[in-house]
Amino acid sequence: MKFRCSSLGKLMTEPRSKSEGVLSVGAKTYIRELAAQEIFGVEFEVSSKAIEKGIEVEGDSIDLLNSVRGLSLFKNTERKYNDFITGECDLFDAEAKRGHDIKSSWSIATFPITVADCEDRLYEWQMRGYMALWDADEWEVNYCLVDTPDRLIGFEPMPLHVVSHLPEWMRVTTWTVKRDLEKEAAIYEKVKAANEYLNLVINEFDQTHAANQLLRKSA
């Protein structure tokens, strides 16, 4: 299996002890979820108002970033692969060898105002995957604050969600991740271990559940 860049942070958590092996307990839990999806041919979709907003206003956030930074980038639609991972990034500036990930904040209350508030290990590994696939020197995580669609606001205060009256430069906070080839190599090692464990889980399911058939026939 080629792991999605968005999932790499779940694999890259460090084991708390040597007894856990290469993969942490949390990573193994996530891989078992993937195994269930593979076995039953479904995807476990997570939905929330924040996720819905991110999808609906992505174009507005891209326009905001372009305006603030003087860029003219368009939404990427290409999915890339290598032997280990796959990903479909938001924006890529080929001339600058720089990528951009768009994070549309739910409201003013969740909008990061400093780089320290932006930094997130899960997102870091996602960007490292993109850098490997697009051969980029760096990847920006751009947090954008744009109006929330009315139907999603619910009973929350409108001033937290209607933000287009604020200066544009106040509504983009950027965190930049620089490429690190050693960390990319670490990703590939984790992916190898993850695939071994994934196959182990699927094989265990096949064996234990095939036994149900045998028990039924012998009954």
pLDDT tens digits along 48-83: 999 999 999 999 999 999 999 999 999 999 999 999
185 or 43, greater pLDDT: 185
Residues present in the chain in total: 219
Domain assignment of residue 185, yes or no: no
Among 90, 109, 89, 193, CA closest to 159 = 109
Minimal CA–CA distance to 86: which of 161, 187, 160? 187
Q: Say if 186 falls within a structural domain.
A: no
pLDDT value of residue 38: 94
Q: Are 24 and 16 in contact (CB under 8 A)?
A: yes
Q: Domain for residue 12, yes or no?
A: yes
* E strand segments, the chain: 3-4, 80-81, 85-87, 91-93, 98-104, 138-144, 172-178
Q: Is the pLDDT confidence value at 12 over 60?
A: yes
Residues facing residue 77 across a β-bridge:
none
Residue ranges making up the domain that contains 54: 3-180+191-218
Is residue 106 situated within a structural domain? yes
Helix, strand, coil percentages (3-state) for the chain, rounded to 5, are 55, 15, 35
Contact 173, 118 (CB under 8 A): yes
> CATH no. for residue 199?
3.90.320.10
Please identify which residue in the block is written with the tokens 């639609």: 77
User: What tens digit of pLDDT does each residue of 127-160 get?
Assistant: 999 999 999 999 999 999 999 999 999 999 999 9
pLDDT at 79: 98
Q: Tell me whether residue 200 is in a domain.
A: yes
- Look at residue 137 in the predicted model and tell me its pLDDT: 98
User: In sequence order, what are the beta bridge partners of 175?
Assistant: 141
Say what the pLDDT of residue 53 is: 98
Q: Report the pLDDT averaged over residues 177-186.
A: 98
Residue 211 has pLDDT above 70, yes or no: no
pTM attached to this predicted model: 0.93
186-205: average pLDDT: 96
Output the pLDDT for position 109: 98
Is 190 exposed, middle or buried (CB count within 10 Å of its CB: 0-12, 13-18, 19+)? Answer: buried
Rounded to whole angstroms, the Cα distance separating 100 from 89 reads: 8
Q: What total of structural domains would you count in the chain?
A: 1
Q: Is residue 13 part of a domain?
A: yes
